[in-house]
Structure 1
Amino acid sequence: MFRDEDGFTTVGVALALLVTLSLVFTSAQVYRVSSASADVQDVADAVALAAENEVAEFMIVVRVCDAVALSLSLTGAVVAGLGVAALCTPATAGASGVLLDAARKVVRARDAFAEKAAAGLNRLQKALPFLAAANAASVASANNGGAMGASYLGLAVLVPADGEELSVGAVEGAEDLVDEAEREADDIKQAAAEAEEAAREAAACKERAFLRDCGDAPAYCMYERAATLAGMAGADNPRYASVDVWSFSVALDRARAYYACRLAAEEPEGSSAEERARSALRERFYRYAAAEVERGYVRETADSFEAFFPHLPKNTAEMRQTSLYTETVYPVTAVGGGRAVVHAWPGCPEAAGATGTASIAQMEADDCPACPACGFTAASMGKVAAASTSIENGFEHHYEAVAQAADEYQKARAKLDPLAAEVKGKAGGLLDRCLDVLRRAGGMRIDAAPPGRFGTVAFAVNTNVAAASTGFANGYVREAGALGARAAVSAATLVAEPSDEGRNVVSSLLDGLRGEGGAATGALGVVLDCWSGLLGAYLEGQGAVQGAIERAVDALPFASASGLGSWAAGAFGKAAEALGLEPAKLDALKPVLVNTAHVASADDASFSARFLAVKAQAVAHPLASTDLFSSVVTAAEAAAVEGVAGLDGTVEIASVRLFGDDGPAIPITIALPQAARDAVADFASGVADGVRSVYAQVTGVRTWE
């Protein structure tokens, strides 16, 4: 009954099963004890990461303050530049005073903010050890419970424990720029107003000339008359739709082409002597006119204008003032009594046997009788020009109007150009100084070296003493004592990770600041919009600066007859392009686990030195190192307790008052972690005391530091 021939017995099977079950439950118990013992290391790692995360969040606050200080610096310089540009045109001159005053207030707001931000960040730096300790303890306690009934204490030490004092200087030259702009304001505005008046006068002259040249088409004008009378088209007779793209040289070139064409095509309109005489005189006039307009010129730049439009005679009296009156080209014959007769052209029937030539002036001086065939007199030549100059269907009529407008335009420009040069000289110097201030502003940044910049050393203790079989009681493993207190150390540091996370966090905070700016209209609205755009300069660099300036320029009516407003706005925009502002490095700062020696060796403070010494001792003599925590925790306790003073639920870093005390205040407030808000003044001391008590549990001796 108890055996068979194969050696299998009931007793053997029972014993095998018992041994197997004992091994299974023993292995499981060993695994559970080992896991419960190892859990404290995981908690220590979590504690270290949580504490170092407070440093990462502090750096986000620094970046926001840096962005605000930078944007205010840029806004002050940009608004001052806009104020200078606004002086250059009467339409915006009234806004220049508001803009310059706003620039001064923004500069002062920036300096006040920078001072308060430095103080607030320094205050927050001192609280970082406490905040790190509070967050570490909160994470440790969150791991309490479980199958083994864990009860964790966690303490974190920032390395180094102290941060470097933050200070942010004022942007040099900003207020001096505003002061100088205000001193020069009256002179610039007066010169700009006089330039605007001269520019309007010049624009009216140019408009008249444009209409008489081609703008009145299809009504009578030089363009229409050239096409009708001379059949001109294409490049010889262009038509422009706007005075903005037309110039006086167009009319002069058209006149040159017209007289060359008329001269080449001139023929008598009939066979009578009188008609052939008129044709000869017209040819003489066209040749003279072609030579005259060839002497004309137009020299125009943005800063100067010089032109010469030869005036053609429009009657006999004016003809007498030209070479048409004095040129000796007319054939002379003699009649009875020794008197001479002057003929209109050599082909006159009465000009046969001419003995020489004479001028019209000689003909009038000698009181020569008129030729009976051609009837040539001084009035004959005078009428050639008069016929087409005195009435609007003549080309010369419109040419003369353009020539007169060119003379008037040149006089207006003679007044305008020196005034414009004065405005550009004074305003240009101020705009150059704006660029200098912008460059200084771009270099005035907040650099922080906070506590914990090298990392965090964390301590975790599971103070719960539990039976080894807790939660796994069985009859296969004999109860053999309790699982005592367990402890572990860990460390974390910050690494920059290429990611949009850091950029997105700062961007969302800056968007909130934009929304808090309030609504304003007019010049102050331009200032607020400008600041809102320049907040993005921290994230986007030069592109945001250019965009903010372009939107501000578009919001002001810089267009003017003199073009000085557009010039100033354009000059300021080009100057700002040379700033070349680079966006801030916004890689996400994330805590990662590292060896505790790497963190402690980066600092030479007493805590780090003591920790490294104790760690070296623990490595060399592991059985004699039970005082690890009690030896190094006290330094952490002192640093954490120091940061508790004066803290409540929130910390206001600084507030932005863009327009001084009368304007809206935009606070930058940091909410403390829930663990810190719930903590009391003796929080850190209580955690440290609990960690030190581990030594007493192990050795039975309480070590007092």
Structure 2
Amino acid sequence: MHLRWRCRRPFGLFRDEEGFTTVGMALALLITLSLVFTTAQVYRVTSASADVQDVADAAALAAENQVAEFMIVVRACDAVVLTLSLTSIVVTGLGVAALCTPVTAPASEALLKAGRDVAKARDSFAEKAAEGLNRLQKALPFLAAASAAHVASANNGGPMNASYVALAVLAPAEGEPIEVGGMEGAHALADRAEAESEDIKRAGEQAEQAAEEANACKERAFRRDCGDEPGYCMSERARTLAGLSGGDNPRFNSVDAWSFSVPLERARAYYVKRLAVEAPQGSSTEERARSALRLRFYRFATAELGRGYVHETEDSFDALFPHLPKNTDEMRATALYTEVAYPVTEGEGGPVMHAWSGCPAAAGATGMGSIAQMEQGGYSTCSECGFTASSMGKVAAASTSIDNGFEYHYEAVAQAADEYEQARAKLDPLARKVKEKAGGLFDECLDLLRQVSSKRIDAAPPGRYGAVVLVANTSAAPTSTGFASGFVHEAGSLGARAAVSAATLLDEGSDEGKNVLNSLLDGLKDKGGAVTGALGVVLDCWSGLLSAYLEGQDAIGRVLEGAVDALPFASASGLGSWAASAFQKAVAALGLEPAKLGALKPVLVNSAHVAGADDTAFSARFLAVKAQAVAHPLASTDLFSSVVTSAEAAAIEGIASLDGTVEIASVQLFGDGGPEIPLTIALPQAARDAAADLVSSAADAVRSVYAQVTGVRTWE
């Protein structure tokens, strides 16, 4: 029955009720294959057309990279200018500091001259660097165009037999002139330092002599006070004779930690203790009389030392060490001689004066008198105590005359204090003179450091906003190239394809800027390594400042510390250490900020952003054309031809002055005989290989794109 149904239908043999007909299946497959190959061909054509955009992006990055490289050179030149400025001032300041001591004074002349030479080298380098950088930035449009063209041509060939041309335009096309001021202040500072040098040097020498005398006095006093322990000295005698200990009897191991106030306080404590513990050493009247006189002497000594003082600062010394009498004659010049403290009785031969009221013969005393009255009135001598003027005079005589007595060492300290004060009276005015003159010069150094820290090399080069690149693939390849197929009809060839791209610069943490300085440092070490002495200090300063350029103030402090350590600033007067410290403090007040030496990295951006940041005629024209292209894409076939000519003119300027390398400037320290370190920039290979008509050829090729599209060559 089923078979009969098929026979009744004419097309029953070609279809059934459960599937597709055989013809339908074939048609479906053919259509599907045609769509697949058509889609693939469309993708192929689209990809071939889109390749020009990738090339344009790469060319834009290459063009803007030339600006990035230029900025590295600018920052390297800035490093040289700034560090030479700082080195000149630092070396001049070191020269001033060296004037302050006789030991370092011979190096001052070389340092002051070196400071002036470095300032001249800095000015020479800055002038040449400004000229070289201006020359190089004029060539940047050409370098950018050459790099873009090189990258574009490197993508020629391939499956579609591409032939790329590119024209890079920097925005803006011109840079601002680079100018660097001179260091007039450095030369004036050197003049003033040299004018003051003889006065500072002479005062420093005289101060050193006075300081040596003063230090000898202080050393002698220190030893007599406690430095000779465990031998006889004030501290040992105070401990042995009075049992003085602890804070009342301190001991110092170094004169540097000791001062004259120490023996004065020790003596005060000693006599207070002796007064408190004094007792007769026997029961005889003579011994009891000597004890009474010792009490009076200790009481007198306590009062005398109470008048003493020590006022000492870094710049002055004023002290009073009362001298205690060591014999009868000296006693007569003290209050012991005129003190009315001795009982007087009437004897057969006239009035009699007694050593103290406890004398057996002093009972019934009618009054009190002094030793002066006794000598002037012809008093009789007491038969019991035997008191006379010499009795009091002898109290301190023994302990003052031999080294086992406390007064012997105290008197030595008191005499040393007097001599120390006299030496300081000569030293302090000389030291003040040195500090005033040198300190004034250090203040000028600080003012000049502040000035030069703002005289930096900065640049606003062509392309600082970015680069716009116009790229065209002028190869007219058949659409089926590399993908021939019978499913798609040959539809002619792909015409010229064009694209626009843009790039700008972005800060990037990179060592590329440091590498430039490292190469400069290598040259400095190679050519300046044989320099020694004061000039070696100069080179070390500059080398240190260069190597630590990124660290700002901390780097200057470390470099200055190293330079100070290289000179023997230690001196008896302390003026060398003061000068070094004062200058370091002056520099520390500068507050220099770290420099920026990181590399700049080109990144792709919308071309409207680059052109929009620029106010030149090219950018304005480019934005207008781009806006027209967006609004009327089919009518904007002159996208390139309307802006190429102005780009061409900007790019070819400065080409004639270029060769394989550009010497920006050279550093020549210490005049013609010193080491010379050049800063030379090698041009990129693309620029070295490019012919002088590179830019014009690229512009002609880009303009020809319009003719290929419209069949009309635009005359501009």
Calculate the TM-score normalised by the size of structure 2.
0.95
The corresponding residue for 2:649 is: 638
| Residue 516 (structure 1) aligned with residue 523 (structure 2) | yes
Counterpart Cα distance in 2 of 1:204 and 1:95: 27
Q: Of 594, 608, 611, which residue of structure 2 is paired with 1:583?
A: 594
Matches within 5 A, 1:472-621: 472-496=483-507, 499-501=508-510, 504-517=511-524, 518-519=528-529, 520-535=531-546, 538-586=549-597, 588-621=599-632
Per-residue CA deviations over 1:629-686 (Å, capped at 9, x if unaligned) read 2222222222222221121111111111122221111111111111111112112222
How far off its partner does 1:586 sit?
4.7
Q: Of 314, 334, 337, which residue of structure 2 is paired with 1:302?
A: 314
Which residue identity is paired with 1:321? A
Q: Of 247, 265, 269, which residue of structure 2 is paired with 1:257?
A: 269
Counterpart Cα distance in 2 of 1:359 and 1:241: 45
Aligned residues of 1:64 and 1:509 also touching (Cα < 8 A): yes
Counterpart Cα distance in 1 of 2:694 and 2:624: 28
Which residue identity is paired with 2:515? S
The corresponding residue for 1:213 is: 225
Counterpart Cα distance in 2 of 1:103 and 1:578: 21
Counterpart Cα distance in 2 of 1:334 and 1:617: 138
| Residue 279 (structure 1) aligned with residue 291 (structure 2) | yes
Counterpart Cα distance in 2 of 1:98 and 1:187: 17
The corresponding residue for 2:352 is: 341
How far off its partner does 1:9 sit?
4.1
The corresponding residue for 1:651 is: 662
The corresponding residue for 1:459 is: 470
Counterpart Cα distance in 1 of 2:686 and 2:597: 28
Counterpart Cα distance in 2 of 1:281 and 1:616: 117
SS at match of 2:257: coil
Aligned residues of 1:171 and 1:440 also touching (Cα < 8 A): no
Counterpart Cα distance in 1 of 2:637 and 2:539: 63
The corresponding residue for 1:408 is: 419
Aligned residues of 2:513 and 2:598 also touching (Cα < 8 A): no
SS at match of 1:568: helix
The answer to which of 178-187 and 15-24 deviates more is 15-24
The corresponding residue for 2:237 is: 225
Tell me: CA distance 1:53–1:148, structure 2 relative to 1, closer, same or farther (3 Å): same
The corresponding residue for 1:68 is: 80
Which residue identity is paired with 2:439? G
The corresponding residue for 1:13 is: 25
Aligned residues of 2:343 and 2:354 also touching (Cα < 8 A): yes
SS at match of 1:651: strand
The answer to which of 570-579 and 279-288 deviates more is 570-579
SS at match of 1:158: strand
The corresponding residue for 1:267 is: 279
Aligned residues of 1:268 and 1:279 also touching (Cα < 8 A): yes
The answer to which of 74-83 and 686-695 deviates more is 686-695
Counterpart Cα distance in 2 of 1:326 and 1:374: 20
**Equivalent residue pairs, number:** 700
SS at match of 1:49: helix
SS at match of 1:303: coil
The corresponding residue for 1:425 is: 436
Which residue identity is paired with 2:153? S
- RMSD after superposition: 1.7
How far off its partner does 1:251 sit?
0.7
Which residue identity is paired with 2:689? D
How far off its partner does 1:367 sit?
4.0
Tell me: CA distance 1:330–1:478, structure 2 relative to 1, closer, same or farther (3 Å): same
How far off its partner does 1:588 sit?
4.5
The answer to which of 66-75 and 344-353 deviates more is 344-353
Counterpart Cα distance in 1 of 2:346 and 2:601: 116
Aligned residues of 1:172 and 1:437 also touching (Cα < 8 A): no
Aligned residues of 1:210 and 1:243 also touching (Cα < 8 A): yes
How far off its partner does 1:245 sit?
1.2
How far off its partner does 1:516 sit?
2.0
Aligned residues of 2:553 and 2:591 also touching (Cα < 8 A): yes
SS at match of 1:645: helix
Counterpart Cα distance in 2 of 1:690 and 1:500: 38
Counterpart Cα distance in 2 of 1:50 and 1:217: 81
The corresponding residue for 1:672 is: 683
The corresponding residue for 1:197 is: 209
How far off its partner does 1:5 sit?
4.4
Per-residue CA deviations over 1:420-475 (Å, capped at 9, x if unaligned) read 11111111111111111111101101121111122211111111121212112222
The answer to which of 480-489 and 142-151 deviates more is 142-151
Matches within 5 A, 1:167-182: 167-182=179-194
Per-residue CA deviations over 1:220-244 (Å, capped at 9, x if unaligned) read 1111111111111111111111111
Calculate the TM-score normalised by the size of structure 1.
0.96
Which residue identity is paired with 1:442? S
The corresponding residue for 1:136 is: 148
The corresponding residue for 1:318 is: 330
SS at match of 2:269: helix
Aligned residues of 1:172 and 1:440 also touching (Cα < 8 A): no
Aligned residues of 1:138 and 1:675 also touching (Cα < 8 A): yes
Counterpart Cα distance in 2 of 1:145 and 1:292: 110
The corresponding residue for 1:288 is: 300
The answer to which of 363-372 and 520-529 deviates more is 363-372
Per-residue CA deviations over 1:598-640 (Å, capped at 9, x if unaligned) read 3233334332333334334433443333232222222222222
The corresponding residue for 1:153 is: 165
Tell me: CA distance 1:321–1:7, structure 2 relative to 1, closer, same or farther (3 Å): closer
How far off its partner does 1:29 sit?
1.1
Matches within 5 A, 1:96-111: 96-111=108-123
Counterpart Cα distance in 2 of 1:159 and 1:325: 102
How far off its partner does 1:25 sit?
1.5
Which residue identity is paired with 1:308? L
| Residue 238 (structure 1) aligned with residue 250 (structure 2) | yes
The corresponding residue for 2:393 is: 382
Which residue identity is paired with 1:463? T
Counterpart Cα distance in 2 of 1:515 and 1:303: 46
| Residue 84 (structure 1) aligned with residue 96 (structure 2) | yes
SS at match of 2:296: helix
Aligned residues of 1:695 and 1:701 also touching (Cα < 8 A): yes
SS at match of 1:467: coil
Aligned residues of 2:512 and 2:599 also touching (Cα < 8 A): no
The answer to which of 524-533 and 108-117 deviates more is 524-533
Aligned residues of 2:264 and 2:305 also touching (Cα < 8 A): yes
The corresponding residue for 2:3 is: none
Aligned residues of 1:83 and 1:96 also touching (Cα < 8 A): yes
